[in-house]
Structure 1
Amino acid sequence: MQRSAYEDFFGVRSSLKAGGKEYQYFSIAELGKKLGKDITRLPYSIRVLLESVLRNVNEQEVTKDHVESFLTYNPADPADIEIPYTPARVLLQDFTGVPCVVDLAAMRSAMERMGGDPEKINPKLPVNLVIDHSVNTDFFGTSEAFKQNMDLEFHRNKERYEFLRWGQAALENFHVVPPASGICHQVNLEYLGKVVQTVTTPEGDVAYFDTLVGTDSHTTMINGLGILGWGVGGIEAEAAMLGQPIYMLAPPVVGVRLRGSLRAGITATDLVLRVTQMLREHGVVGKIVEFFGPGMGALTVPDRATLANMAPEYGATAGFFPPDKKTLEYMYATGRDEDLLELVETYTRAQGIFGDESNPEPEYQAVLDLDLATVEASIAGPKRPQDRISLQDVPKTLKTIYKAPIKERGYALQDGDLQKSALIKDPSGKEYELHQGDVVIASITSCTNTSNPSVLIGAGLVAKKAAERGLRVKPYVKTSFAPGSVVVTEYLEKAGLMPYLNQLGFNLVGYGCMTCIGNSGPLPEHIAQAVEKEDLVVGAVLSGNRNFEGRVNPHTKINFLASPPLCVAYAIAGTMHINLHEDAIGTDTDGKPVYMRDIWPSEEELARYVSKALDREAFKKSYGGIEKSNPRWNDIPLQATKVYPWNEESTYIQEPPFFVGMGLETQAISPIGNARVLVKVGDSITTDHISPAGSIAYDSPAGTYLAEKGVSRPDFNSYGSRRGNDRIMTRGTFANIRLRNQMAPGTEGSWTRHQPSGDQISIYEASQRYKTQQVPTIVLAGKDYGMGSSRDWAAKGVQLLGVQAVIAESFERIHRSNLVGMGVLPLQFKPGESAESLGLKGDEEYTITVDDGVQPKQEIRVSVRRPDGSTLEFGVICRIDSSVEVDYYRNGGILHTVLRRMVAESRA
C-alpha cells in the first residue's frame, strides 16, 4: 500500500542528489551486501521488482520474509517464490477503465449498504484513465472525417462520459485524459512515464522506480522507455488501486541478445513480427523478456517501444529494455524536465540498472540470439500476430491457407471458390470487380506503430512518391489514419507529408485505438452487400497488433498486421495476392508499371525527415494542460456525490450484481456437482472470442435487449463501449461471430446445445435455463485459453453466465488470474491429456471434488457420467497458483476480499 512514509526494516536507506535536490532511496545494492547476495547478476527487471518489495515492507501485506525469500531467486531455475508487488501507478483505457470505475462505484454502494463509509473506497495509487477506445471509423476519406467521428463519439457515449466525469470529481487520485488526445500507451510513453517517481514523506523526498500495471495488455509498450509495466485484468487493477499488492510468482526472465543492425528498408514492424514468431516458438508465457546486447544501440526508444508493445503477442508478461542514454535522449526530445532527466540517470545508476556496456551481463533462464541484419520485410496473419509471412511469400502462403481445414486456421475453400468475385456498382454508378483476397480496409492505426516516427514518415514518403506517380488507392478500400497522439499529425504536416496521405484517402479519422480494437466502422454498404452475397474472403491490412478472428471487422476474414508504409502499398495494390518485392502495384500516368521499390524511401531520405520529427517544443505544447484540452469534455457537468446515483433506464451504466446481497462472512469452498458443459472449444481461444469488443449484431441476445430498450440500431455502439452494463455484457459473452462452439457443431457464433434436451439455442439462453434448473456449468478448452487482450469481462461475463470452472490444456497468464479474481475455478488438464484424448464430448455430467482445503496447484479429481450411464475419472491441476489466490477464490473474488476487509476496517 502506498504510504506517506516508508520504513527502513533492513537499514538500506541511502541518499543521492539530482536537479539541485536531495532524495532518499532504498538501495538494492546495499540490501545485497547485507544479506550476501550478488544483485549485479540478477536480470534488470527482477531488480526493479525487488526494490518495490523492499520499499513497501510493512510487516502486514509485505513482510521482511518476502524480501529474504525473493533474494533466493535463481535466474537459471526460478523457484515458486511468491512476491507482493506494489506498482507505482495504474493506467486505464476507457473500454476497460469504465467497468473499473463502475466496480468502484458499486463498492461504494455496497459499503454504504453494509454500514461502512463509502468515501473510504478510493484509489490509493495514482490512476490515469485515457479515453481512447470509444471513437469509431464511421467517416473516412475526407477532411471532415475527424470532426464527424468525434461528433458521433460524444453522441454515442454521453452516458459513459457523464459517468467518468462523476469519477473525476468524486474519486481521489483519479485523473482523466479526455477524448481526441491520443492512445493511452502512446500518451504514457510520450508524457506520463517518468522512469523515476518521487514522493514527499516526513523523512524527506523518496525516489523510486516508476512502475505500473494497466488494464490493457499493451501496457507493456512502456518497457521500451525503461519502465517496468504490464497488463492485468481490470479486477486485479482495481485491487491494486485500492491498496492491495499484486501477489505473483517471481517470473522467469528470458534474455534476447541483439547484435548488428537492421538492413536498409527494414522497419521496426518487420523486426517485431520476427521477434514475435521467434519467442512464440520458444515459449515465454508467464515470463519477462529482457533485451540486451551490442545491437541495443541501433534501436531508438520508439523502435524499442514497438518491440515492448507486442509482448502480449509473443506471450510474455513484459519485454523490458533497461534505461540508457537513448532513454535520456528520448525523454529530452519529448519535453520532459531536465531535472527529471538528471534524477533518472543518477538514480538508475545508483540502483545498477542504467544500461552500460561495462555492466556485467545478467543471468537469465535462457538466452536467445538475434542478428538484426537477418530480419526480412514481413506481414503477419491472417488470424494471429505470431504467424509471420515474408513479403515475397504472401501469395503462395495465402493460397495454402485458403484450402487448409478450419481447425488448422484455414478457410476450407474448394478450388472453385478461389475464382469467386462480385460485380460492384458504387453510389456514383461506377462498376468494378471485387475478388477473393482483395483488401477492403487499409488502416494506419494503433499504438504499436504510431509512436514511431520512422515508420509514419516512411508511410508519408511512400504516399508522396505514389501520388506524384499518379497512383491511387483502389475504390473498394476503406482507408484511415488514426495516430496515437496529436504530435504525429503536427510533424507530418510540418514535413509536408500529410497532404499526400490525404490525397490517397488516409485522412485523419481520430486520435484513438480504432481499427485495431475493432472500431473500424462499417464497410460502405455496396461493398458489404457484395461480400455477403458471394461469401468472399476479403481482407484488412492494419499497422496494429491484433488480427484475431472477428475483431477487426465482421466482413474481413483475413486480417494482416503490417508496417504503415506497407498499409499504403497494399491499399494501392488492392489485393493480398501480390508479391510486393517483384510485382507492380500499379501503373503511373504514363502507363508505366510502378513497383514498391520505386516509391520506397531511401535510408538517407528517411533519416533527413525523421530528424525533424522529435520536436521538444511540439511535445511540450501538445501535452501542456492535456486534461483540460477538449472543450466538449469540459462542458460535461461534474457531480461529486459520494455514492453514484444509478439510473435503471441507462443502457450504458448499471450497478453490477457482484456485491448485491453480499455478507461479511465467507462460505466454505465446496465441490461442484453434476455440472453441464456450456461451451467446448479448441486451441487459441482469445478473450475476443469470449467477450468481443466490436459491433453488436442486431439479432444477438444483446441486440435484442437493446432493441427492447428502444435503442435504434445505429446507436447500438460496440460491446467495448457497453462494458459498464452487465446486462449487455453477459448477453455478449461468447458472442463473437467467429466462435466455434463444439457443443453446436457446424455453427459459428453464440450457439450451444442444452443438455440433456439437446436443444440448439443461444449460449445466453442456455445459461439462463441452467440457472433456473440450478445446474452449474463449466467450459472445456484447448491450449492458450484466454490469449489476447487483458479483458476482465471475459471472466466477469463467464461468471455471470453461471460458469463455475474452466478446464483447459493451458491458460494465458492474465485470463487465468482474472478467472480466479471472479471466483471461477481454472483447472488444467495434465500434460498429454485433453478433452479429445479423454473422449469428452460435452454431453456428460461433471463433478469436481474441490473443497475448503484446496491448495495451490494441487491435483483435483473430476468424475464424469456419460449419457449411457458409464463413468470416467481423471485428474486435473488446480491453477489457483498461490495461497492468496485461494483466499480470493474462497471469498468469491478479489474485490469481494478487499471489500470485506475495508468494511471491517471502516466499522472498527
Structure 2
Amino acid sequence: MSSHDSLKTLSTLEVNGKTFHYHSLPKAAEKLAAIGDVDKLPTSMKVLLENMLRNEDGDTVKESDIEAIAHWLSERKSDKEIQYRPARVLMQDFTGVPAIVDLAAMRDAVGKAGQDPEQINPLSAVDLVIDHSVMVDKFASPEAFKENVRIEMERNFERYQFLRWGQSAFKNFRVVPPGTGICHQVNLEYLAKVAWTKEQDGKTYVMPDTLVGTDSHTTMINGLGVLGWGVGGIEAEAAMLGQPISMLIPEVVGFRMTGKLPEGVTATDLVLTVTQMLRKQGVVGKFVEFYGPGLDNLPLADRATIANMAPEYGATCGFFPVDQETLRYLELSGRDKDTIDLVEAYSKAQGMWRETEKEPVFTDSLELDLSTVEASLAGPKRPQDRVAMPQLGSNFDLILEQDGKANEKDKKVQVPGKDYELAHGDVVIAAITSCTNTSNPSVLMAAGLVAKKAVEKGLNRKPWVKSSLAPGSKVVTDYLAKAGFTPFLDKLGFNLVGYGCTTCIGNSGPLPDEISAAIKEGDLTVSSVLSGNRNFEGRVHPEVQANWLASPPLVVAYALAGTTRIDLSKEPLGEDQDGNPVYLKDIWPSSKEIADAVSYVDGQMFRNEYAEVFDGDEEWQNIPIGEGKTYNWSDDSTYVKNPPYFTEIDKPLAPMSDIKDARVLAVFADSITTDHISPAGSIKPDAPAGKYLQANGVEVKDFNSYGSRRGNHEVMMRGTFANIRIKNQMLDDVEGGYTVHVPSGEQMPIYDAAMKYQKDNTPLVVLAGKEYGTGSSRDWAAKGTILLGVKAVIAESFERIHRSNLVGMGVLPLQFADDQGVKAHGLTGHEQISIEGINEDLKPGQMLKVTAKKDDGSEVTFEVKCRIDTNNELQYYKNGGILHYVLRQMLAA
C-alpha cells in the first residue's frame, strides 16, 4: 500500500472478529464534496477511485488524479490519464504461452546483461488456465472426452512441458491443468474473491477484486461485481512486472433494464439483443454499467453471460455492481462464509452495494424492457448481427443471393457412401461450447430438457451434423448428470468432448471426410450453430461459411432440424414414432421446468470439483520439467522458441524518426478482426507456416493450430494476415493472405513479400478502414505485424485492445481524419508512403503529415492523428515497446 494518503481515507472494518484496513470512499467523498458528489459515481468508477486512493504515491498517482475522478461528474467524461493497478492477472494458454515465452526471453536478456534473471518475476498473482488447446477430433461417442484429452496431451507436450517449467520457475504463478475448465468460468466459480485481501506490514488490507486478462472475455467476471477486462499479453506482462496500466478516465454508458424475460426466452437471446443495441450506440473504449429494476429479476449467471460479451458490443467492460444476488451466487458456488460476509460488509461500507432505487450519473444511457426480448441467433459472421429466430430461413436465402447462388437454392449433393444428401444451409456443426453460455445453468439445463423431450418423441440429430458438448467446468457435467439429462444428450450425439473453448475458438476439429467432400463438390454454403461468442469469417471451420450464435437449447434444436433454412416457430423439427410432426414448441421447456432443474445445482459440487484444481491428472504430473532460473530452449522445438525481441536491449536507444518511402503491405476494408490478422485455427499445408512446419519435419496431421503454435515466432510471423477469408484490396477477388509486391507487380503470400521488402530495407505500412483489430485481445496480431517490418498502421478507427497492443510492440497506430480514408484519398496501395513529425517532440494525439507518392510521380498529402493516447504509451513507443521499456528500466536500476 502507498504511504501517501493526502485525503486521510485509511479506515478499518471489523468482520467476524477480524480487522481489515481499507481506503474509505465515504471519507474521500467528504473531502471532495466541493468538486462533486462522489456517491453519484457509477460503481465501476468508484472502483477506479479506490484504486487511485490506495496507490497514491505522489508520482504515478497524484492527488490531482483523485480529484479528476470527482471532476468527471460535471462533464461525465475526461481526457485525464491515470495509472491503474489491478490486483491480479488471468491468462489462457493460447495467449499465456507466448506471454511466459516473453518472460523467459526477458530472463535470458537480464542474465546476458550480467544481472540476476530472477528480477523477472510476476509481482502480482497470475493464474493461467489451459482451456484453448483441446480439439473436437472425436465426437458423438462415449470415448470422445478420453480420446480428445489423450490427443491434446500428445499434440501439446512441448507447450505443457514449458508451462510446467514456468510453474516451478516463477513466483506468484499458478497453472490450472488441461481438462479442467474454461478460464472465465473457473474465474467466476472459484478464483474471484470480489473483495481482495493483501497482507502488508502485519496488517490485512481489503480492496475491490480487480484484474486484467489475456483474453477479451475476461469481462465475464464483471457479472460478479469484479472489474476486469481483456488486454493484450504484452500489456498483461507489464502489469505482472509491476507496471501500472496507463488509461484515460473512461466514459461510462448506463444500460437500464426493466421488466422480466418472457417465457421461453433465454439469457443468450438477451445478450444478443444487448450486443446489437450497444454496437449501434457505439461504446468502443467505454465502460458499460447495468442498472435499473430489471436487475432484480436477472440471475447472476445471466449477468455473467451479458458481461462476457462486452468485446462483442465493443465496450471495455460490462459491469454489474455487487448486490444480494452476488452473495447468493458466492454461496451457491461454494465460497466460505467469511469471504461472503466480507464482500457484503466491504461493499456496503464503500457505497458499492447496488440499491435499485439509487441510480448513478452516467455519460449516456439507454434502456431495455426485458419483456420485449425474443428468441434470436446472430450471424453469419458477426456477433452483433442479430436475427430473430423466425427470420433465419429467409435471412439465409438472402446470403445465397449475395453470394451469387440465388439459382442454387434447391441444389443437393449426394454424400459419398451415405444415403442422404447435403444442401445449402445444412447444419454440419452443432456445438454447445464457450464460456458465454456453458457457465449458465439455466441454458444448459434447458438444453438437457430439450434433449430429453426430443428423445422421448423419437427424434434424433440429422446424420450430417457434427455435435459436441464442451462445458466450461466439471460442475456442469455434475449437474447435468444429477438432473438425469446426460443420457439424453448422449443419445443425440452431444457427448462430452472436453472442458474448453473448442468450436468457439476454432478447435472444431475436422468434418467427416464424406461431409467435407460433399461441401467441396457442390461449393455449398453450410452452417454451424454454436453457443459461442465469436463467429468471424474462417474462425469456426474453414469449410463452414455461415456461423450462427445461439443458445444451447437452440443448438440442440438445429441439430435435430439439420438446417438453418427453416422457421422453427412454424415448421416441424421432424416426426415422432407415429409419423406425426414435432414442433419446437412441443419440446421447449417452461421456465418452471428449467428452474426445477437448476435447483439440482449446489455448493458441494463446486467444492468437490475445485478442491484440487491445480493438481492435474497423473499424466500432467508426470511431465518432466527442467530446473533453473532460465529456460533451456530447444533448437528442435516447433512450439517454443526464443523470440528475437530483446537482442539489442543493451544498445543505446535510437531516436524516433520519420517513416520515409514505405511500401504498403496490404489495404484492408472495415471490420478487420484480430482473427483476420493472426488466425487461431488450422494451418494450411501450402501456406508459409505450413511449408515451414513441413521443412522442420512436422507432418500435416500434426500441425495442430496457429493458436497452439504461438510460442514459436517463426510460425506466427508466417501466419500473420494469413486468414483464409481475409481480403487485401490491392488484389481483385482474391481471398487469403496475399499481396502485390511493389514495384515488381508479382502476387505472393504476404509473408514472402514482407521478407523481400526487409531484404531491401524497405519499411512497410498497412492501410485499413473502420474498427481495425476488433475481436480477441490477440497480442500476436501486433507481434506478427512488427516482425513483418510494418512500422505504422493507418486506419479509420481502431478497436481498443489492438491499438494498445500495436503501441506495446512499437508499431505506430495512425487514424485518418473524420470521413476520410483510403478511397477518399484515392489510394491503391501502390504508393510510397512517408510520414512526417515522428521525432523527440512527438505528443499523444498529435496530427502528423502523410505524403503518398504515386507511380506517375504525383503526390497526395493528408493529415492523420497519432493514436498514441497517453504519455506512458509514448515512452513505450520510444523504447520499441512496453516490455523493452520495462527491461531497460530494470537494467538501469
TM-score (norm 1): 0.97
Does the 8 Å contact 1:48/1:228 carry over to 2? Answer: yes
Task: Pick closer, same or farther for the CA change 1:92–1:688 going to 2, 3 Å.
Answer: same
Counterpart amino acid of 2:716?
A: M
Does the 8 Å contact 2:425/2:526 carry over to 1? Answer: yes
Aligned position for 1:258: 257
Name the CA distance, whole Å, in 1 between partners of 2:76 and 2:444: 42
Alpha-carbon shift at residue 32 of structure 1 (Å): 2.1
Aligned position for 1:381: 379
Name the CA distance, whole Å, in 2 between partners of 1:882 and 1:165: 37
Name the CA distance, whole Å, in 2 between partners of 1:759 and 1:239: 41
Instruction: Provide Cα deviations, 1:717-771, integer angstroms capped at 9, x if missing partner.
Output: 0000000000000000011000111122221111000001110000000000000
Does the 8 Å contact 2:649/2:888 carry over to 1? Answer: no
SS of structure 2 residue aligned to 1:659: coil
Aligned position for 2:664: 677
Aligned position for 1:443: 431
Equivalent residues in 2 for 1:53-202 (5 A)? 53-74=52-73, 76-202=75-201
Task: Pick closer, same or farther for the CA change 1:710–1:344 going to 2, 3 Å.
Answer: same
Does the 8 Å contact 2:78/2:250 carry over to 1? Answer: no
SS of structure 2 residue aligned to 1:752: strand
SS of structure 2 residue aligned to 1:673: strand
Does the 8 Å contact 1:24/1:207 carry over to 2? Answer: yes
Name the CA distance, whole Å, in 1 between partners of 2:47 and 2:351: 10
Instruction: Provide Cα deviations, 1:861-897, integer angstroms capped at 9, x if missing partner.
Output: 0001000111110001110001111111100000000
Instruction: Provide Cα deviations, 1:69-122, integer angstroms capped at 9, x if missing partner.
Output: 333223753120111000010000000000000000000001111222110000
Alpha-carbon shift at residue 317 of structure 1 (Å): 0.3
Alpha-carbon shift at residue 306 of structure 1 (Å): 0.3
Counterpart amino acid of 2:411?
A: K
Alignment match of 1:754 (pick from 715, 735, 741): 741
Alpha-carbon shift at residue 565 of structure 1 (Å): 0.2
SS of structure 2 residue aligned to 1:413: coil
Aligned position for 2:308: 309
Name the CA distance, whole Å, in 2 between partners of 1:7 and 1:664: 37
Equivalent residues, number: 890
Matched, 1:421 2:418: no
Name the CA distance, whole Å, in 2 between partners of 1:170 and 1:57: 32
Computed over aligned residues only, the root mean square deviation of the Cα atoms, in angstroms, reads 1.1
SS of structure 2 residue aligned to 1:693: coil
Name the CA distance, whole Å, in 1 between partners of 2:722 and 2:758: 19
Aligned position for 1:409: none
Equivalent residues in 2 for 1:36-47 (5 A)? 36=33, 37-47=36-46
Matched, 1:808 2:806: no
Name the CA distance, whole Å, in 2 between partners of 1:40 and 1:8: 20
Aligned position for 2:22: 25
Counterpart amino acid of 1:17?
A: E
Aligned position for 1:480: 468
Instruction: Provide Cα deviations, 1:491-513, integer angstroms capped at 9, x if missing partner.
Output: 00011001000000000000001
Equivalent residues in 2 for 1:263-278 (5 A)? 263-278=262-277
SS of structure 1 residue aligned to 2:815: strand
Matched, 1:661 2:658: no
Alpha-carbon shift at residue 28 of structure 1 (Å): 1.8
Matched, 1:844 2:831: yes
Counterpart amino acid of 1:8?
A: D
Gaps of 5+ in 1: 405-411
Name the CA distance, whole Å, in 1 between partners of 2:261 and 2:406: 40
SS of structure 2 residue aligned to 1:584: coil
Alignment match of 1:896 (pick from 884, 887, 891): 884
SS of structure 2 residue aligned to 1:129: strand
Name the CA distance, whole Å, in 2 between partners of 1:292 and 1:415: 46
Gaps of 5+ in 2: none
Equivalent residues in 2 for 1:220-231 (5 A)? 220-231=219-230
Aligned position for 1:298: 297
Aligned position for 2:368: 370
Equivalent residues in 2 for 1:463-474 (5 A)? 463-474=451-462
SS of structure 1 residue aligned to 2:845: coil
Name the CA distance, whole Å, in 1 between partners of 2:380 and 2:520: 19
Name the CA distance, whole Å, in 2 between partners of 1:361 and 1:415: 51
Alpha-carbon shift at residue 637 of structure 1 (Å): 2.4
Alpha-carbon shift at residue 399 of structure 1 (Å): 1.2
Name the CA distance, whole Å, in 2 between partners of 1:639 and 1:760: 45
SS of structure 2 residue aligned to 1:823: coil
TM-score (norm 2): 0.99
SS of structure 1 residue aligned to 2:645: helix
Name the CA distance, whole Å, in 2 between partners of 1:519 and 1:289: 31
Task: Pick closer, same or farther for the CA change 1:865–1:557 going to 2, 3 Å.
Answer: same
Name the CA distance, whole Å, in 2 between partners of 1:488 and 1:119: 40
Does the 8 Å contact 1:480/1:506 carry over to 2? Answer: yes
Name the CA distance, whole Å, in 2 between partners of 1:561 and 1:798: 30
SS of structure 2 residue aligned to 1:678: strand
Name the CA distance, whole Å, in 1 between partners of 2:372 and 2:172: 47
Alignment match of 1:571 (pick from 539, 544, 559): 559
Alpha-carbon shift at residue 649 of structure 1 (Å): 1.1
Name the CA distance, whole Å, in 2 between partners of 1:252 and 1:800: 34
Task: Pick closer, same or farther for the CA change 1:6–1:481 going to 2, 3 Å.
Answer: farther
Alpha-carbon shift at residue 241 of structure 1 (Å): 0.3
Instruction: Provide Cα deviations, 1:238-290, integer angstroms capped at 9, x if missing partner.
Output: 00000000000011000011000000000000000000000000100000110
Aligned position for 1:785: 772
Counterpart amino acid of 2:390?
A: Q
Does the 8 Å contact 1:53/1:62 carry over to 2? Answer: yes
Name the CA distance, whole Å, in 2 between partners of 1:400 and 1:539: 14
| Higher mean displacement: 849-858 or 327-336 | 849-858
SS of structure 2 residue aligned to 1:102: helix
Name the CA distance, whole Å, in 2 between partners of 1:6 and 1:15: 16
SS of structure 1 residue aligned to 2:181: coil
Aligned position for 1:711: 698
Alpha-carbon shift at residue 664 of structure 1 (Å): 5.0
Equivalent residues in 2 for 1:211-222 (5 A)? 211-222=210-221
Name the CA distance, whole Å, in 2 between partners of 1:667 and 1:61: 26
Alignment match of 1:702 (pick from 672, 681, 689): 689
Name the CA distance, whole Å, in 1 between partners of 2:845 and 2:411: 52
Alignment match of 1:639 (pick from 626, 629, 633): 626
Does the 8 Å contact 1:520/1:553 carry over to 2? Answer: yes
Aligned position for 2:853: 865
Name the CA distance, whole Å, in 2 between partners of 1:667 and 1:808: 26
Aligned position for 1:246: 245
Moved >6 Å (runs of 4+) = none
Name the CA distance, whole Å, in 1 between partners of 2:578 and 2:505: 40
Alpha-carbon shift at residue 8 of structure 1 (Å): 3.0
SS of structure 1 residue aligned to 2:140: coil
Alignment match of 2:604 (pick from 585, 610, 617): 617
Does the 8 Å contact 2:29/2:39 carry over to 1? Answer: no
Name the CA distance, whole Å, in 2 between partners of 1:394 and 1:188: 35
Name the CA distance, whole Å, in 1 between partners of 2:549 and 2:335: 32
Does the 8 Å contact 1:722/1:728 carry over to 2? Answer: yes
Equivalent residues in 2 for 1:279-678 (5 A)? 279-358=278-357, 360-404=358-402, 412-426=403-417, 430-613=418-601, 615-663=602-650, 665-678=652-665
Name the CA distance, whole Å, in 2 between partners of 1:6 and 1:335: 36
Name the CA distance, whole Å, in 2 between partners of 1:96 and 1:19: 40
Aligned position for 1:874: 862
Name the CA distance, whole Å, in 2 between partners of 1:603 and 1:301: 16
Counterpart amino acid of 2:409?
A: L
Aligned position for 2:713: 726
